[in-house]
Amino acid sequence: MADKDIILVGVPMDAGAGRRGCLMGPDAYRTAGLAEALSELGHSVRDLGNVKPEPVLLDGSADPRLKNLEEIAGWTRSLNSCARNLCQDPVFPIYMGGDHALAAGTVSGHRAAAEDIGRPLFVLWLDAHSDFNTLKTTESGNLHGTPLAFICGLPGFECYLGERLKHAVPPENVEILGVRSIDPDERELLVTHGVGVSDMRRIDEVGIPGLLHPFLERVRACNGLLHVSLDVDFLDPDIAPAVGTTVPGGATFREAHLVMEMLHDSGLVTSLDLVELNPFLDDRGRTARLMVDLTCSLFGKRVFDRPTRSF
């Protein structure tokens, strides 16, 4: 990955999560030195500050179980516009969350921008959860469990953008890696729609390279753009405690860095979400620092430079 013009965008939202605190995530990344660390790698870095949600007033017919639906719709519309605008220039956006509901806006915006230039968008979803519930199937009503279903064009999300999503990501262009918690209705939807899912057992059996190489080769063969959405709970909570949805048995320190190093070597990644960091639950900032280190691995930081094979 050549030197990049990186744009940092803060998304201080926790309306989609079950616990408060993710809205402090953007400032935690800033305090942990994300911009400085990327600059030291030779990249140009600009911080645009924090975005705000658009004001949205729905008609009141929505299921009352759905928490903060108007606010999530406002964030989705704002971030969709932000992503589309950023794609007018040759920049690499990093969206500093904020809970995972933000991806409904960022990914849909990048998908629309990819459509404008006639290239497919692929999504690598690094997460303990598949986030493939619809507004009807969600059991908790927490909307950070729904963005991938919206992005893939499942029905019922018209309130998010005020209309049906025009340019969905084909489900077969999505790979969920590291998942270890899926609701029964989600499982059925994932199978029905053909989403790629690699749980931790597959990682144990096949290894990160055996799973990631084929996906990256498919992105390259299609001349695709690749959006990566990294949830803190992709990581094992022993090394990353600052998340409100901990699930034991996540990616190890080395597995996570290997993913990011392979993504860097591929040169295919064009945008990144960093989501679900809850500084209120952190241990003296160690999760924020780890997420900064992982981001640096994506942008070329390595212990020992050596030739790498192209995929």
Q: What is the pLDDT of residue 304?
A: 60
Residue of 144, 227, 257, 264 with catalytic role: 144
Strand 225-231 and strand 196-199: the pairing is unpaired
* Cβ neighbours, 10 Å, residue 59: 6
Evaluate the CA torsion angle 131, 67, 140, 60 in order and state its sign.
negative
The answer to whether 54 and 71 have CB atoms below 8 angstroms apart is: no
Ranges of residues in the chain with a pLDDT under 50 are 311
- Give the C-alpha separation, 182 to 74, whole Å: 27
HEC string for 236-262? CCCCCCCCCCCCCCCECHHHHHHHHHH
Catalytic pick among 186, 233, 261, 282:
233
Catalytic residue among 127, 175, 186, 273: 127
147-174 pLDDT per residue, tens = 999 999 999 999 999 999 999 999 999 9
What pLDDT is attached to residue 306? 55
Report pLDDT for 311.
45
In the prediction, which pLDDT does 3 show?
Answer: 87
From the list 14, 71, 100, 110, the catalytic residue is 100
Residue 233 annotated to the active site: yes
Task: Say what the pLDDT of residue 261 is.
Answer: 97
Structure confidence at residue 302 (pLDDT): 82
3-state secondary structure 211-243: HHHHHHHHHHHCCCEEEEEEEHHHECCCCCCCC
Question: What DSSP string runs through 38-95?
Answer: HHHTT-EEEEEEE--PPP----S-S-TTSTTHHHHHHHHHHHHHHHHHHTTSS-EEEE
228 within 8 A of 174, measured Cβ to Cβ: no
Active-site residue identified among 71, 99, 131, 273: 131
pLDDT of residue 1: 54
DSSP annotation of 8 reads E
Residue 131 annotated to the active site: yes
> From the candidates 14, 186, 261, 276, which is the catalytic residue?
276
Q: Starting at the earlier edge strand, list the strands of the sheet with 196-199.
A: 44-50, 5-11, 92-97, 269-275, 225-231, 121-126, 174-179, 196-199
Tell me if residue 129 is catalytic. Answer: yes
pLDDT per residue as tens digits for the range 255-287: 999 999 999 999 999 999 999 999 999 999 999
Q: Read off the tokens for 208.
A: 């990160």
Domains of the chain in sequence order: 5-298 (3.40.800.10)
Angstrom distances, CA of residue 52 to CA of 12, 49, 102, 106, 285: 8, 10, 11, 13, 25
261 part of the active site: no
Beta strand 225-231 with 269-275: parallel, antiparallel or unpaired? parallel
Task: Single out the catalytic residue among 43, 110, 129, 227.
Answer: 129
Q: What is the pLDDT of residue 63?
A: 86
Residues contacting 187, CB < 8 A, separation 6+: none
The one catalytic residue among 71, 231, 255, 282: 231
Among candidate residues 48, 50, 49, 68, the one with its CA nearest the CA of residue 58: 68
